[in-house]
Structure 1
Amino acid sequence: MFTGSIVALITPMDEKGQICRSSLKKLINYHIHNKTTAIVSVGTTGESATLSQEEHIKVVMLTLELADNRIPIIAGTGANATTEAISLTKRFEKSGIAACLTVTPYYNRPTQEGLYQHFKAISENTEIPQILYNVPSRTGCDLLPETVSKLSNFKNIIGIKEATGDLSRINKIKELIKNDFLLISGDDTTALDFMQLGGQGVISVTANIAAKEMMKICTYALKGDFIKARSINKRLILLHETLFIEPNPIPIKWLARKLRLIKYDTLRLPMTLASNSTQLKLEKAIQYANIKKY
């Protein structure tokens, strides 16, 4: 359930910035058709920072409804206040959500002890499986391997999405944790190398528009066939990189609209639409990757 290609799903909006049900349904069906392993709903790629908590819950529950038990749904439930993260996580207990993805607190830059106590409190106050999410470039704090090791002792903390892009982290974490603790890449550019070093999959931005390709890369990698995996990934390298020349999810939303997966590439302020120069680079990247309109 939590290995292979997991998509960090964008949150489609209409021209007025309201949630677009028809585009969300189309995206979910696209991922089911292309055998994506699971969907992360309202993670950071899903614009959790600019949705109200009411909207956040609405989008997760709508995703769950439209998926209709055809694909596991993981809810993003991170917050920079521990009480808010607990409240949001508890909201999804017994809802049918498979797990929660919990980003490290952002902006307030807690110490390692603060990070440990934060995730410990979430674990002790909820029953739903938790996947830790470490992305220092966006949050301003880094969940170190030693802290991950301590947290792995809680039975409902089942893995980590590691998005530093630092491949040396894998062995450092593996040396300190149990074998059944999941190591999932959060960086498309290095995801294949991450899996070759022992990771079990990727929570992917690229999969939003290249679901079949990301599924095949992960399937081959987890079978140990890295020659076939690399032959596909080679076509996607430029795309992996270009998706982050402006802050995520600006580029991926523009491409999803371009490829007819969503109706509009609307974002909530302070996020703005992709610049003309970025659009040209994205066009080049999808041509190189040979990604077709849906």
Structure 2
Amino acid sequence: MSLSGSITALATPFTDAGELDLDGWRRLLKQQLDGGTQGVVVAGSTGEAAALSDDEFVQILQLAVAELGGRIPVLAGVGQMNTARTIAQTRLAKAHGAEYALVVTPPYVRATQDGLIAHYRAVADQGGLPVVLYNVPGRTGCDLLPQTVAQLVGHPNIVGIKEARSEAERMAALLALREDGFAILSGDDGTAGRAMLAGADGLISVGSNALPRTFRRLCDRARAGDASEVARLDAGLAELYAFFGVESNPIPVKALLQRAGFGHGLRLPLTTLSSAHHADADRLALLVQTLEAQSHRDQLAA
């Protein structure tokens, strides 16, 4: 299955006690499928991958594959701080049904560009899954440069990139590398419409956890070149884009999921949304309902 359109970087529901909320996970998966989401990431940064044990990683991945496999792509977040551990996590994901590996640049260690090339080639050669590169320097302290991506594009088992930098110039540099079999995916909700209008294949989104129908419509219209509709949708989402950044991801989106009935606990050192933002979360939860209802009507009318 191709990597394109609206792909959700799933939050992992936890109970107030910090345990996996597997009932909430199943309901979240169903909501994503019903809302038209075209792929999911399990155990990415939004899914608090660093706080999951291997057993928990396997549990939620197996459930996602059971619910969604064969209908939409299931990507597993497997990036670790070194290459050997990343390969091992990729093999674990493959053994439990993942179709793609989303591989963030190794956090904290600040590899050189040559080190990143060697790292990604090793994971692609030895991990057993097609690799999607993931660049998010604000989290990792490491920036995967376009000229480095250019040296990885030709690898038969490297199939795309999620680029979380928001600058139009960065996206333009990556789009120049786009070819069949290598997808360019935005990792920034607020600029994804612009990126897709410029030729990007899709979005790996945080906000689509709470708004799967709305982000599906945004991606559909952007990929169809409908700039006026993209501008309208972006305007309606502007407050939510800002809210998703008021505290570390996934704290804000989990606050919205809580208000929709999903497990919202987080694991330390992350804590739940500060009380100063609760009123905004209450108000925006109502906006989510309005936008999702409108997007549902638009889908039915299409």
Q: TM-score, normalised by structure 2?
A: 0.91
Tell whether 2:116 aligns with 1:115. yes
Task: Return 276-285 or 198-207, whichever deviates more.
Answer: 276-285
Distance in 1 between residues matched to 2:292 and 2:154, nearest whole Å? 44
Contact 1:259 1:292 in 2 (8 A): no
Give the Å deviation of 1:78: 0.6
Asked if 1 retains the 8 angstrom alpha-carbon contact of 2:76 and 2:101, the reply is yes
Once the two structures are overlaid, the 10-residue window that deviates more, 166-175 or 64-73, is: 64-73
1:55 correspondence with 2:56: yes
Question: Is there any run of 5+ residues in structure 1 with no aligned partner, and where?
Answer: none
Q: Deviations over 1:191-221 (max 9, x none)?
A: 1111111111100000001110000010111
Contact 2:26 2:63 (8 Å CA) reproduced: no
Question: CA separation of 1:257/1:291 partners in 2, compared to 1, >3 Å: closer, same or farther?
Answer: farther
Letter of the aligned partner of 2:86 in structure 1? Answer: A
Cα shift at 1:279: 2.0
Give 1:210's aligned amino acid: L
Q: Which residue in 2 is equivalent to 1:75?
A: 76
> Conserved in 1, the CA contact under 8 Å of 2:130 and 2:157?
yes
Quote the Cα distance in structure 2 between the aligned partners of 1:212 and 1:49: 28
Structure 1 counterpart of 2:219, which letter? Answer: C
Q: State the Cα distance separating 1:176 from its structure 2 match.
A: 4.0
Question: Which residue in the other structure is 2:297 paired with?
Answer: none
Calculate the TM-score normalised by the size of structure 1.
0.94
Aligned pairs for 1:84-163 within 5 A: 84-93=85-94, 95-163=96-164
Partner of 1:196: 197
Q: Distance in 2 between matches of 1:90 and 1:17?
A: 27
- Cα offset, 1:12, TM superposition: 0.6
| Per-residue deviation, 1:288 | 4.6
Q: For residue 273 of structure 2, what is the aligned residue in structure 1? A: 274
* SS in structure 2 of the partner of residue 18 of structure 1: coil
- Superimposed CA distance per residue, residues 209-240 of structure 1 (whole angstroms, 9 cap, x where no aligned partner): 11100000101111111212221221111101
- Write the letter of the residue equivalent to 2:98: I
Secondary structure of the 2:94 match is coil
Asked whether the equivalents of residues 78 and 103 of structure 1 are also in contact (C-alpha less than 8 Å), the reply is yes
Contact 2:100 2:131 in 1 (8 A): yes
Shift of 1:133: 0.4
CA–CA distance in structure 1, aligned partners of residues 123 and 136 of structure 2: 19
Per-residue CA deviations over 1:170-202 (Å, capped at 9, x if unaligned) read: 221233453542110000011111111111110
User: Using the alignment, how far apart are the partners of 1:29 and 1:174 within structure 2?
Assistant: 33
The alignment of Structure 1 onto Structure 2 pairs a total of residues equal to: 291
CA distance in 1, matches of 2:224, 2:291: 24
What is the Cα-based RMSD across aligned positions, in Å?
A: 1.7
Aligned to 2:174: 173
3-state DSSP class of the match of 1:74? Answer: strand
Deviation at 1:68, TM superposition (A): 5.1
Match in the other structure for 2:299: none
Equivalent in the alignment of 1:285: 284
Q: Which runs of 5+ in 2 are unaligned?
A: 294-302
Q: Which deviations, in whole Å up to 9, do the C-alpha atoms of 1:117-137 show, x marking residues without a partner?
A: 111110111331111000000
Q: CA deviation at 1:18?
A: 1.3
Cα distance in 1 for partners of 2:198, 2:5 equals 14
Query: One-letter code of the match for 1:195?
Result: M
Query: How far, CA to CA, are the matches of 1:120 and 1:71 in structure 2?
Result: 26
**Cα pair 1:243 1:282 within 8 Å, conserved:** no
2 CA distance for matches of 1:63 and 1:176? Answer: 31
**Percent identity among equivalent residues?**
35
Give the distance between the partners of 1:227 and 1:174, measured in 2 at CA: 22
Q: CA deviation at 1:95?
A: 3.9
SS at match of 2:282: helix
Matched, 1:256 2:272: no
Q: For 1:168-247, what aligned pairs fall within 5 Å after superposition?
A: 168-247=169-248
Contact 2:194–2:222 (Cα < 8 Å) also in 1: no
